[in-house]
Amino acid sequence: MSTASLNRLSGIFLWLGSVLLLITGIIPFFISLKINISEVTTQHINLQSSVFVMYFVLSFIAFSFILIGLPAIYLRQSAQFGKTGLIGLLLYVFGVFLNIAVTASFTSVFPMVDEGAPHLIDKIIDSNFFIYPFGSFFLCIIGAILFGIAIIRAKVFPAYIGVMFAISPLLHTSEMFVTNDTSFAVLDLLSVVSLAVALIAIGSNLVSGQHGIHTGVPISK
Protein backbone atom coordinates (compact mmCIF):
# COMPACT_ATOMS: atom_id res chain seq x y z
CA MET A 1 0.00 0.00 0.00
CA SER A 2 1.39 3.41 -0.98
CA THR A 3 2.04 6.28 1.42
CA ALA A 4 -0.83 8.20 -0.15
CA SER A 5 -3.22 5.31 0.51
CA LEU A 6 -2.03 4.95 4.10
CA ASN A 7 -2.50 8.68 4.66
CA ARG A 8 -6.02 8.55 3.29
CA LEU A 9 -6.87 5.51 5.40
CA SER A 10 -5.51 7.22 8.51
CA GLY A 11 -7.50 10.33 7.69
CA ILE A 12 -10.68 8.29 7.36
CA PHE A 13 -10.08 6.68 10.76
CA LEU A 14 -9.57 10.15 12.25
CA TRP A 15 -12.88 11.24 10.69
CA LEU A 16 -14.72 8.21 12.04
CA GLY A 17 -13.26 8.60 15.51
CA SER A 18 -14.16 12.29 15.55
CA VAL A 19 -17.77 11.67 14.49
CA LEU A 20 -18.19 9.06 17.23
CA LEU A 21 -16.67 11.45 19.76
CA LEU A 22 -19.15 14.14 18.78
CA ILE A 23 -21.99 11.67 19.37
CA THR A 24 -20.65 10.86 22.84
CA GLY A 25 -20.53 14.58 23.57
CA ILE A 26 -24.32 14.77 23.33
CA ILE A 27 -25.11 11.79 25.58
CA PRO A 28 -24.21 13.44 28.97
CA PHE A 29 -27.08 15.89 28.42
CA PHE A 30 -29.51 12.95 28.73
CA ILE A 31 -27.93 10.76 31.41
CA SER A 32 -25.74 11.44 34.42
CA LEU A 33 -22.16 10.28 33.92
CA LYS A 34 -20.51 12.41 36.59
CA ILE A 35 -18.60 10.68 39.37
CA ASN A 36 -18.47 12.85 42.48
CA ILE A 37 -14.77 13.31 43.07
CA SER A 38 -15.26 14.50 46.67
CA GLU A 39 -17.19 11.37 47.62
CA VAL A 40 -15.80 9.08 44.91
CA THR A 41 -19.10 7.31 44.34
CA THR A 42 -21.25 6.21 41.42
CA GLN A 43 -24.49 5.78 43.37
CA HIS A 44 -26.41 8.27 41.19
CA ILE A 45 -25.28 6.57 37.95
CA ASN A 46 -27.28 3.71 36.45
CA LEU A 47 -24.47 1.41 35.36
CA GLN A 48 -26.90 -0.97 33.67
CA SER A 49 -28.49 1.73 31.50
CA SER A 50 -28.25 1.04 27.78
CA VAL A 51 -27.37 4.71 27.22
CA PHE A 52 -24.54 4.45 29.76
CA VAL A 53 -23.14 1.38 28.02
CA MET A 54 -23.57 2.98 24.59
CA TYR A 55 -21.59 6.04 25.72
CA PHE A 56 -18.58 3.99 26.74
CA VAL A 57 -18.80 1.62 23.77
CA LEU A 58 -18.76 4.59 21.39
CA SER A 59 -15.89 6.15 23.35
CA PHE A 60 -13.95 2.89 23.17
CA ILE A 61 -14.40 2.64 19.39
CA ALA A 62 -13.72 6.35 18.85
CA PHE A 63 -10.38 6.38 20.67
CA SER A 64 -9.39 3.10 19.01
CA PHE A 65 -9.92 4.73 15.60
CA ILE A 66 -8.02 7.84 16.69
CA LEU A 67 -5.07 5.72 17.82
CA ILE A 68 -4.90 4.18 14.35
CA GLY A 69 -4.76 7.63 12.76
CA LEU A 70 -2.27 9.28 15.13
CA PRO A 71 0.95 7.83 13.62
CA ALA A 72 0.15 9.47 10.28
CA ILE A 73 -0.02 12.86 12.00
CA TYR A 74 3.47 12.34 13.39
CA LEU A 75 4.93 10.95 10.18
CA ARG A 76 3.59 13.90 8.20
CA GLN A 77 5.55 16.29 10.43
CA SER A 78 8.42 14.09 11.61
CA ALA A 79 11.13 16.21 9.99
CA GLN A 80 9.93 19.34 11.81
CA PHE A 81 8.56 17.73 14.96
CA GLY A 82 11.68 17.09 16.99
CA LYS A 83 11.90 15.28 20.33
CA THR A 84 9.18 17.37 21.94
CA GLY A 85 6.58 16.17 19.47
CA LEU A 86 7.68 12.55 19.72
CA ILE A 87 7.60 12.57 23.53
CA GLY A 88 4.20 14.28 23.46
CA LEU A 89 2.84 11.71 21.03
CA LEU A 90 4.09 8.77 23.10
CA LEU A 91 2.66 10.19 26.33
CA TYR A 92 -0.66 10.92 24.65
CA VAL A 93 -0.86 7.46 23.08
CA PHE A 94 -0.10 5.79 26.41
CA GLY A 95 -2.73 7.97 28.07
CA VAL A 96 -5.28 7.00 25.43
CA PHE A 97 -4.44 3.31 25.98
CA LEU A 98 -5.21 3.76 29.69
CA ASN A 99 -8.41 5.58 28.78
CA ILE A 100 -9.44 2.69 26.53
CA ALA A 101 -8.75 0.21 29.36
CA VAL A 102 -10.88 2.24 31.79
CA THR A 103 -13.61 2.60 29.17
CA ALA A 104 -13.60 -1.15 28.61
CA SER A 105 -14.09 -1.75 32.33
CA PHE A 106 -17.03 0.66 32.48
CA THR A 107 -18.52 -1.00 29.40
CA SER A 108 -18.16 -4.67 30.31
CA VAL A 109 -17.12 -5.27 33.92
CA PHE A 110 -18.97 -2.59 35.91
CA PRO A 111 -22.49 -3.33 34.56
CA MET A 112 -22.08 -7.04 35.40
CA VAL A 113 -20.78 -6.28 38.90
CA ASP A 114 -23.57 -3.77 39.44
CA GLU A 115 -26.11 -6.44 38.53
CA GLY A 116 -24.64 -9.28 40.58
CA ALA A 117 -22.99 -7.49 43.51
CA PRO A 118 -23.76 -3.75 43.46
CA HIS A 119 -22.20 -3.21 46.89
CA LEU A 120 -18.78 -3.91 45.35
CA ILE A 121 -18.93 -0.97 42.93
CA ASP A 122 -18.04 1.75 45.41
CA LYS A 123 -15.38 -0.50 46.95
CA ILE A 124 -13.77 -0.77 43.51
CA ILE A 125 -13.99 3.00 43.07
CA ASP A 126 -12.48 3.53 46.54
CA SER A 127 -9.59 1.22 45.72
CA ASN A 128 -6.55 1.98 43.58
CA PHE A 129 -8.73 1.72 40.47
CA PHE A 130 -8.77 5.51 40.16
CA ILE A 131 -5.03 5.52 39.51
CA TYR A 132 -5.82 4.48 35.94
CA PRO A 133 -8.27 7.26 34.94
CA PHE A 134 -6.16 9.87 36.75
CA GLY A 135 -3.06 8.50 35.04
CA SER A 136 -4.84 8.70 31.72
CA PHE A 137 -5.84 12.33 32.36
CA PHE A 138 -2.31 13.30 33.41
CA LEU A 139 -0.56 11.60 30.48
CA CYS A 140 -3.08 12.95 27.96
CA ILE A 141 -2.72 16.49 29.31
CA ILE A 142 1.08 16.54 29.22
CA GLY A 143 1.21 14.64 25.93
CA ALA A 144 -1.42 16.80 24.23
CA ILE A 145 0.26 20.04 25.32
CA LEU A 146 3.66 18.89 24.03
CA PHE A 147 2.08 17.47 20.88
CA GLY A 148 0.09 20.67 20.31
CA ILE A 149 3.18 22.85 20.75
CA ALA A 150 5.04 20.64 18.27
CA ILE A 151 2.21 20.98 15.74
CA ILE A 152 2.35 24.77 16.04
CA ARG A 153 6.13 24.85 15.70
CA ALA A 154 6.19 22.42 12.77
CA LYS A 155 3.94 24.77 10.76
CA VAL A 156 2.66 21.91 8.61
CA PHE A 157 -0.90 22.21 9.87
CA PRO A 158 -2.63 25.45 10.94
CA ALA A 159 -1.72 26.62 14.44
CA TYR A 160 -5.31 26.40 15.71
CA ILE A 161 -5.13 22.61 15.32
CA GLY A 162 -2.32 22.44 17.87
CA VAL A 163 -4.19 24.76 20.24
CA MET A 164 -7.44 22.79 20.07
CA PHE A 165 -5.60 19.49 20.42
CA ALA A 166 -3.86 20.78 23.57
CA ILE A 167 -6.91 22.22 25.35
CA SER A 168 -9.17 19.19 24.83
CA PRO A 169 -7.76 17.05 27.69
CA LEU A 170 -7.68 20.11 29.96
CA LEU A 171 -11.42 20.56 29.45
CA HIS A 172 -11.98 16.83 29.91
CA THR A 173 -10.08 16.78 33.21
CA SER A 174 -11.93 19.83 34.51
CA GLU A 175 -15.16 17.79 34.32
CA MET A 176 -14.17 16.05 37.56
CA PHE A 177 -14.33 19.29 39.54
CA VAL A 178 -17.73 20.65 38.52
CA THR A 179 -20.69 20.38 40.86
CA ASN A 180 -23.62 19.48 38.61
CA ASP A 181 -24.49 17.32 35.62
CA THR A 182 -25.18 20.23 33.27
CA SER A 183 -21.72 21.74 33.78
CA PHE A 184 -20.24 18.28 33.27
CA ALA A 185 -22.14 17.83 30.00
CA VAL A 186 -21.10 21.27 28.69
CA LEU A 187 -17.41 20.70 29.48
CA ASP A 188 -17.55 17.21 27.98
CA LEU A 189 -19.08 18.59 24.79
CA LEU A 190 -16.47 21.37 24.55
CA SER A 191 -13.72 18.81 25.08
CA VAL A 192 -14.88 16.46 22.32
CA VAL A 193 -15.67 19.32 19.92
CA SER A 194 -12.18 20.75 20.42
CA LEU A 195 -10.50 17.42 19.72
CA ALA A 196 -12.88 16.50 16.89
CA VAL A 197 -12.35 19.80 15.04
CA ALA A 198 -8.58 19.34 15.20
CA LEU A 199 -8.70 15.71 14.05
CA ILE A 200 -11.25 16.34 11.28
CA ALA A 201 -9.06 19.15 9.92
CA ILE A 202 -6.00 16.91 9.94
CA GLY A 203 -7.97 13.99 8.51
CA SER A 204 -9.22 16.20 5.68
CA ASN A 205 -5.66 17.17 4.81
CA LEU A 206 -4.50 13.56 4.87
CA VAL A 207 -7.39 12.34 2.72
CA SER A 208 -7.22 15.15 0.17
CA GLY A 209 -3.43 15.30 -0.05
CA GLN A 210 -3.38 19.08 0.41
CA HIS A 211 -0.08 20.88 0.86
CA GLY A 212 1.33 21.84 4.23
CA ILE A 213 0.63 25.48 5.02
CA HIS A 214 4.27 26.52 4.98
CA THR A 215 6.27 23.73 3.46
CA GLY A 216 4.54 23.37 0.12
CA VAL A 217 5.14 19.63 0.36
CA PRO A 218 2.14 17.44 -0.51
CA ILE A 219 0.79 15.49 2.43
CA SER A 220 0.28 12.48 0.16
CA LYS A 221 3.39 11.37 -1.65
pTM: 0.76
Asked whether residue 217 is assigned to any structural domain, the reply reads: no
Asked whether residue 100 is assigned to any structural domain, the reply reads: yes
Given a cut of 60, whether residue 218 has pLDDT beyond it is no
pLDDT score for 119 = 62
Average pLDDT score over the chain: 79
Domains: count for the chain: 1
Asked whether residue 34 is assigned to any structural domain, the reply reads: yes
Asked whether residue 69 is assigned to any structural domain, the reply reads: yes
Asked whether residue 106 is assigned to any structural domain, the reply reads: yes
What value does the mean pLDDT take over residues 94-116?
A: 72
- Name the residue type at position 56: F
Instruction: Categorize the per-residue pLDDT at 214 as very low, low, confident or very high, splitting at 50, 70 and 90.
Output: very low
What value does the mean pLDDT take over residues 58-67?
A: 90
> Closest Cα to residue 47, out of 116, 129, 107, 133?
107
Asked whether residue 213 is assigned to any structural domain, the reply reads: no
Spatial separation of the C-alpha atoms in residues 202 and 196, rounded to whole Å:
10
Domain that holds residue 131: 3-208
